[in-house]
Amino acid sequence: MDEDVFYQSFSAEALFGLPAQPESVEILNYVSSEMSIPVKTDAFTIVFSRDVRRNAYVAAELAMKVATSDKKIDVWYVNTYAGVNFLKAAFQKLFSEAGLKVRSRSLKREEEAEEKLHKRSKKVRYFDRPKEEWLGRWEVSEHDGRSYRMLTDEERAQEEAILAAEKIEEEELDSLPFKGSKLDRKLAVPNLRIYHVPIGTWDTDIFASDLEARGRMGCKQVVIINSFEYAPLTHGRKDRMARELLQLCDRLQLSIVIFSHEMKKDLEPGLPGRGPIGILAAKAAAVSRFADPFDKFYGSRKKLVTPISEPTPSVHEKQIYFSPLEQGMEVAIS
């Protein structure tokens, strides 16, 4: 919804005149022998599974399936639990199953490639000019930093028009929710990003900055978090993360899949419950559950086989209070 409609009242007729929000559509439906995980736009999908290691692998498999299904979908695999060795083994297996070649790349080379890919070509203008009072009327003539000539009024007007256009372009770029532009075609899965968060150190603002800087306009953004409970560790921070994710999903129209090892039985799509995951269930388009290996132990306490033959007599309240003298105990009186 447009931000202009918040924090103000308006008539019902004005409500009918507001532009409709885009409908939530299914991007992909992950199906296994145990359950299915639908991924939908502008919505949450909550996956309950007791096995945290399996969650990390299934989340990686889901991320690969979504990323390889359509290059116009940007996928963030958010790792809050697994170590580097586990991730390497998981994605190596997934790459092999997809018939993709596994290649290594250093983080430094990754940063250099991204900088080269997203570098915008700009003409050097004011920085190489002499700092006189008529600075705006000079330009480099021989590109050696020494020889200059005076601009004519017509050339100066053209110069100012170019600078004004560049300023408008930069302001428009800054106003866009996503600023990523191109994919690195040298990568096997260029639209898949792995966002690593050390256990218990989740920060929504930092993640949103990465999302907005690398996401592409006109593309769908899918975020897959492999363990909600290990992102923040305290209840208060989990509650805060849930509320911030709701706001982020609303603002950027994200598809968010969250894996949780809490096997909550009372949560369904659109039906909130207690706790941080219960907050997210109100926005959830789907709730999926793996079988709980401890289900067989719930409600299995042995019940009394033979009923009591005689009813238990009622006990008056005064009968449960007694004095020490009635029990043959001596009382010292001072």
What pLDDT is recorded for position 309? 53
**Mean pLDDT lowest among 9-13, 194-198, 231-235:** 9-13
User: How would residue 124 be classed by pLDDT, with cut points 50, 70 and 90?
Assistant: very low
Q: What are phi and psi of 213, to 5 degrees?
A: -75, -30
Q: What is the pLDDT of residues 167-209, one digit of tens each?
A: 665 555 555 556 666 777 788 898 999 999 999 999 999 999 9
Q: What is the DSSP letter of 228?
A: S
Nearest to 259, CA basis, from 16, 26, 79, 73: 79
Whole-model pTM?
0.70
Distance between the two ends of the chain, CA-based, in angstroms?
A: 79
Looking at per-residue pLDDT, the higher value among 220 and 112 belongs to 220
Q: What is the pLDDT of residues 271-281, one digit of tens each?
A: 888 889 999 99
Nearest to 151, CA basis, from 163, 130, 136, 165: 136
Mean pLDDT of the region 89-109? 87
> Does the pLDDT at position 67 exceed 50?
yes
> Does the pLDDT at position 315 exceed 70?
no
Q: What is the pLDDT of residues 244-263, one digit of tens each?
A: 999 999 888 899 999 999 88
What pLDDT is recorded for position 87? 93
Residue recorded with tokens 């999926």: 288
Q: Which residues contact 302 (CB under 8 A, 6 or more apart)?
A: none
Report how far Cα 29 is from the mean position of its chain's Cα atoms. Answer: 19
Domain spanning 24-100+179-296 has what CATH number? 3.40.50.300
78 contacts 201 by C-beta, under 8 angstroms: no
What pLDDT is recorded for position 332? 54
Mean pLDDT of the region 39-53? 92
Mean pLDDT of the region 109-118? 66
Mean pLDDT of the region 73-97? 93
56 contacts 301 by C-beta, under 8 angstroms: no
39 contacts 222 by C-beta, under 8 angstroms: yes
> Does the pLDDT at position 291 exceed 90?
no
User: How would residue 298 be classed by pLDDT, with cut points 50, 70 and 90?
Assistant: low
Mean pLDDT of the region 124-142? 44
User: How would residue 76 be classed by pLDDT, with cut points 50, 70 and 90?
Assistant: very high
pLDDT more than 70, % of the chain? 69
Looking at per-residue pLDDT, the higher value among 105 and 233 belongs to 233
The CA distances from residue 94 to 61, 75, 87, 188, in Å, are 7, 15, 10, 12
Domain ranges of the chain: 24-100+179-296
- Report the range out of 24-38, 96-110, 303-317 with the highest average pLDDT: 24-38
